[in-house]
Amino acid sequence: MLALLALVLPLTAMAGPYPDKPVTLVVPFEAGGSTDVSARVVAKALSEILRQPVIVMNQPGAGGRIGTRRVATADADGYTLLWGSGSTLAVAPILYPDQTYLTTLVPVSLGALQPFLFVTSPETGARTVADLVALARQKPDILNFASAGVGSSNHLLGEIFMSATGTKFVHVPYKGSTSARDAVIRGDAQLMDEVLAPLMAQIKAGQLVPLLVTSETRIPSLSDVPTAKEAGLPDLSITGFFGLMAPPKTPSEVVATLNAAMRKALDSPDLRKSFETMSFDVGNGSAEDLATIIAQGRERYGRIVADRNIRVE
């Protein structure tokens, strides 16, 4: 027995520091959306810093809860992580309070921020919020509003839009923002909102018409698009966020290693250039600030859910 222990102990001592194998970064939505494209930029930077492959795994479904659950129930060793967003971290816990795993994840780093953009289909003929509101009031419960799923951030922002404008759209949930965007392009839906990155190319191509941006000030790349406040909808002044999360009970030293790597990644010129191209604001890397933004989001979205009496099955 002692001889066996003598063989095992040196092997244990020889185990390398974290990470010593590839890391999986789960994106709980389909490829091509804002969560996915930002995750891939971060994964590339982290791979270089950690000197291990950081592999993006898309696991869409149930408004992001399937992928989130995968991470929440994974081994707490730092090798399965979540690139979370407001939908999964702030909204889902409000709508699904019985699914307690949604609140057990450990904040690691605030990675990116980006306002939302409301768009419509060119087929509507609307060029402003007022145009679309007038059309919707003429056709209540006929025009469709597309979202990334029931309980997603863009679903709730759509609810705020309808409440603030006194309109009634039919909510059509999809498996992700890419599918929702494509529905508007096809004319199957007449309204959607999403953070900027997945919409810019289609706007430039004339496939989507921008109506308003939820930032406090206008954005340079769409300088003619009014802010929510300018459009008379101040309740829509909401910023989307993305952050790195770890399974519950992940060792503090692993979290610290990941946080340090994220801060270094967020300072890298390549990442900053990529984020700038996609109109993302670079996060400050703070775990504490990510936790604060999540808490504030849950409070705000909780009020929306209560006011609009939103229920999910």
Convert 27-44 to b/e letters by CB count within 10 Å (16 or more is b). Answer: bbbbebbbbbbbbbbbbb
pLDDT at 313: 61
Q: In this structure, is residue 290 part of a structural domain?
A: yes
Centre a 10 Å sphere on the Cβ of residue 69 and count the other Cβ atoms it contains: 20
Q: Assign residue 274 the CATH number of its domain.
A: 3.40.190.150
Same domain, 200 and 250: no
The rounded distance, in Å, linking the Cα atoms of 238 and 31 is 24
Same-domain pairing of 208 and 136:
yes
| pLDDT averaged per 10 residues, the chain (length 313) | 47 66 96 92 98 97 92 98 95 91 97 96 96 95 92 87 93 90 97 90 96 92 95 91 98 98 98 92 97 94 81 69
Q: State whether 119 and 226 are in the same domain.
A: yes
Q: Do 105 and 32 have their domain in common?
A: yes
State how many domains the chain has: 2
Last residue of a domain, which of 175, 208, 236? 236
Domain boundary among 183, 211, 236: 236
Q: What is the pLDDT of residues 190-223, one digit of tens each?
A: 999 998 888 999 999 999 999 999 998 998 889 9
Residue 124: other Cβ atoms inside 10 A: 17
pTM given for the model: 0.83
Domain end: 211, 236, 261, which one?
236
Backbone angles phi, psi at 74, to 5 degrees: -75, 165
Whether residue 194 is contained in a domain is answered as: yes
**Domain CATH code at residue 204:** 3.40.190.10
Rounded to whole angstroms, the Cα distance separating 216 from 67 reads: 32
For 215-242, the pLDDT digits (tens) are 989 988 899 999 999 999 998 988 899 9
Nearest to 175 by CA among 36, 24, 11, 20: 36
Q: Cis ω on the peptide bond leading into residue 251 (within 30° of 0)?
A: no
In a domain, 211, yes or no: yes
Tell me: do 219 and 132 sit in the same domain: yes
Asked if 108 and 243 count as a contact pair (C-beta separation under 8 A), the reply is yes
In angstroms, the first-to-last Cα distance of the chain is 56
CA–CA separation, 92 vs 238, rounded Å?
Answer: 17
Determine whether 190 is exposed, middle or buried from the number of CB atoms within 10 Å of its CB (0-12, 13-18, 19+).
Answer: buried
4 part of a folded domain: no
State how far the alpha carbon of 276 is from the alpha carbons of 19, 211, 213, 223, in Å. 29, 22, 17, 16
CA dihedral 62, 107, 283, 198 (to 10 degrees): -10
- Same domain flag for 107 and 122: no
123 and 108 in a common domain: no
